[in-house]
Chain A
C-alpha cells in the first residue's frame, strides 16, 4: 500500500500542477455494506475541510479470507493557494476472518503523531473484537446514534466506552443549535416539566437527557418522529428555531473532527437519556 501511495505521489508530481500532501489526522471509517454509499458521499464533502489520510474499512465477512485494497489521491484546489492539496484515500475490503482483526491491518497505516478518528457507521457490534480493537488504536469514536434502531437501550453500551476512548455523537452535534436556543430561555426553563421534540428519536433523547442532566430534574419527553429536528417545545410553548439551514452530514462530521477531548456534558446527557 505504501508503495502504491508513493507511486501515486510521483505520478501527481510528474504530471499535474504543483501539489502538496497534507494531513491533519487519520480518519478511519468502518462501513458495513449497507453504509458504503453513504460513507463515500459524506467523505466527498469532508476531505476539503479536513485533509487527512482516510482509511475506509468495508467488512465482508461472508467473502473469502482476503484483503482487497484500492489506493487513491484526492486533490483539491484551495482558494488563495497556488498548490493543489492532496489527501490519500485507502479502501480496504476485509473478507472472511480478516473482519475480526482490523487493528493489525490499520495500525501500520496510521500517521504518527496525528489524531486518529474512527467513524463507525450504523450501530457498533457491542462486544465484538473489531470494535474493541479499533477503539484501542484510535483516539476518538464518532457515531451517529440516530442510525441505531434502539438508541435508548444502546446508550448504556456506549457509556461503557467513555473511559476508553473519547466519543462524539453526530446526533448530539445536530442538536447544538437547538441547545443554544434552549439555553437562551434560562432562567424561565429552570422548572421545565415537559419537552416536546419532532425529529430523529436519538436527537430527542439526547436533548431531553441534556436538560435532565443540566437542570437536575426529571423532564418528560414527548417525541414525534421526523427526519430532521424541526420543532422543539418547552411545556407546550414552541422554541424559536435556529437561524439558517440545518447542517449537512459532512458539516456535522467535520465539526466532530474538530474536537479532541472527552465531552463531559454529552456523556452526562447520554447517561441521563439511557436512564
Chain B
C-alpha cells in the first residue's frame, strides 16, 4: 500500500518531517557549528521537525570526547538559540551525539566516523541515511569528499551540504564540482547560500508571483532601475586570513548579491520545484552583461567611526597586510540583457564598515508621466519605490506620494509598511533551520546548482581580471560612510543617486 492510498492521510496536513537520518558535521568545533548549525538543529527539535530516529556525528581536529563536545554544543545552544533552553528538547538531540577527533585525511579517523554512523543506525534507527555538512575551509573539501565517496554505504540516501565559498574562481569551482560529481550526483549536492534561506528572500517570490498587481509592472517599461544593497557595519572580525584572499567581491558579490539579482529579475517559474526555480535563476545569470571597468567600483575602508566609536582601517586590522589591496567594498552597474530588463540598470553594492547593517532591494519605478500639480507640489513629488527589507526589520514598504493636509497641494512621500515580524507569528526562523530541514527532505530549491555557481564565477573572474591591471589607491573610504566617492559617481553619471534613507 502506498501513502497515497492511505485514507487517513487526507486533510491531515502533517508537517514536513524528514526520514530517519544522521547528520555528520565536518568542522564540528568551529564557529559556524556553534553559532548557526546547532542553534538551528535545536530550533528544529523544539518544533518537532527532526525525525524521531536521528543522530549527529561531529568531526573535527580538536581533541575532545563526545561528552565534552556535547557540553560545548549545549553551551552554544544556550548562547545562540532563538528559543529558551529546554532540557528535554536538548536531551532529545544530545542522546544521539558522537564526536570523532581526527584529521580529515586520516583513514583511521574516517573509519571511526563510519563506525559511529553504523552505531547510530543500530541504536537510533537512522537507516543508513546520511546528511554530511562540510563546515570547513575550502581547502579541506576535496579530501573530505574523496574520503566520503570511498566509504559510501549502499543503504539509504546520502546528501552533502557544502558551505560557501564554493571555489575561489571559476576554475577552482569547476574543479570542486568535478571532484564532487566523481562520488555524488548533482541532486545529492546542496551548495548553501544562507541568504536563500531567509524568509524575506523567499518572500520576493511570493511578492512577485502570488500578487496580481506587481508582475505586470515588473519590467523596463515601469521600473526605472533597481538598487540592491548588502551593507555590514562590522569589519573583518577575525576572518582576516579568509577575507584577504576573498574580498567583498568573493565574499558577498559572487553569491548573495548575484542571487538577489537573479531572484529580482527572474521570469515566473512554471512551478516551485527545485529545477524550475533554478532554471529561471540561471537564465538571469547568463543574461548578465559583463560590466566594463567603468561600471565597477571597488573600495577599502580606512579609519572612521561606527556608532560613535572610532574603528581602525582595514589595513590596521589584525592579520591584514599593511599594503593590502583587498576590496572591502564593491559596487557595480549591471544589465540583464533580455526582453524584460533591457537598458534597466541594476545598481548593486556590498561592503564592510558601512554606516549600518542592512540588506535591501529597492525597485524604483518611473516617475508619473504628467502629474497635473507638478509645479505646486514642490520637491515632494518623487518616484514610487518598492523597498524589500531583507534584514533587519524584515518586510516590504511602498513609498507613495500623499497630499500634506491643509491648503494647497504639497506632496510628501510616505511609506506603506508591511512588517514581517508584526503580521505573522513572532520570530522568523533562522535561514539555517530552513536550509538544513530542506536538505534532510531532499528539497534543493533554495540551494545553488552547479550551473548557477559557474555563471556567478564567470562574471566575477572577468571583473577581477580587469582589476589586476591597475593598482588601487586604498583606503578610499572612511569607515562609517557609504563607500568611496567613485561609487556615488557610478550612479550620478546616470542622473540617479543611491538611496540614503
Q: Which chain A residues have a beta carbon within 8 Å of chain B's beta carbons?
A: 20, 22, 24, 48-51, 76, 78-83, 85, 176, 179-180, 182-183, 186-187, 189, 211, 214-216, 243-244, 254, 263-266
Contact = CB atoms under 8 A, between A and B. Distances in A.
B82 A20 contact: no
A85 B52 contact: no
For the complex of A and B, list the 7 residue pairs with the smallest distance between their C-beta atoms, beginning with the closest. A265-B11, A183-B8, A85-B422, A81-B421, A22-B422, A78-B421, A186-B6
Contacts of A179: 8, 12
18 contacts: A22-B419, A78-B421, A78-B426, A80-B392, A80-B393, A81-B394, A83-B422, A180-B14, A183-B8, A183-B12, A183-B14, A186-B9, A211-B8, A214-B7, A214-B8, A243-B48, A265-B12, A266-B11
Contacts of B52: 243
B270 interface: no
A81 B82 contact: no
Contacts, number: 81
Interface string B69-98: 000000000000010000000000000000
A264 B14 CA distance: 16
A187 B6 contact: yes
B89 to A, nearest CB: 9
A214 B420 CA distance: 38
B422 A263 contact: no
B1 interface: yes
Contact of A265 (B10, B425, B427): B10
B11 A263 contact: yes
Given A49-B426, A183-B6, A80 B1 contact: no
Contacts of A186: 1, 6-9
B376 interface: no
Contacts of B465: none
A85 B419 CA distance: 9
Nearest to A187: B1
How many interface residues does chain B have, given as a range? 20 to 34
Given A49-B425, A80-B394, A244-B48, A189 B8 contact: yes
Given A22-B419, A243-B52, 11 more contacts: A20-B417, A22-B422, A76-B426, A179-B12, A182-B8, A183-B6, A183-B14, A186-B1, A186-B6, A186-B8, A265-B11
Nearest to A48: B426
A51 B422 CA distance: 7
B419 A214 contact: no
Contacts of A187: 1, 6
Nearest to B395: A81
A253 to B, nearest CB: 13
A256 to B, nearest CB: 12
B12 A78 contact: no
Interface in B47-67: 48, 52
A214 B10 contact: yes
B428 interface: yes
A82 B423 contact: no
Contacts of A182: 8
Q: Which of A51, A176, A264 has the most CB of B within 10 A?
A: A51
Nearest to B13: A176
A49 B427 CA distance: 10
Interface string B20-61: 000000000000000000000000000010001000000000
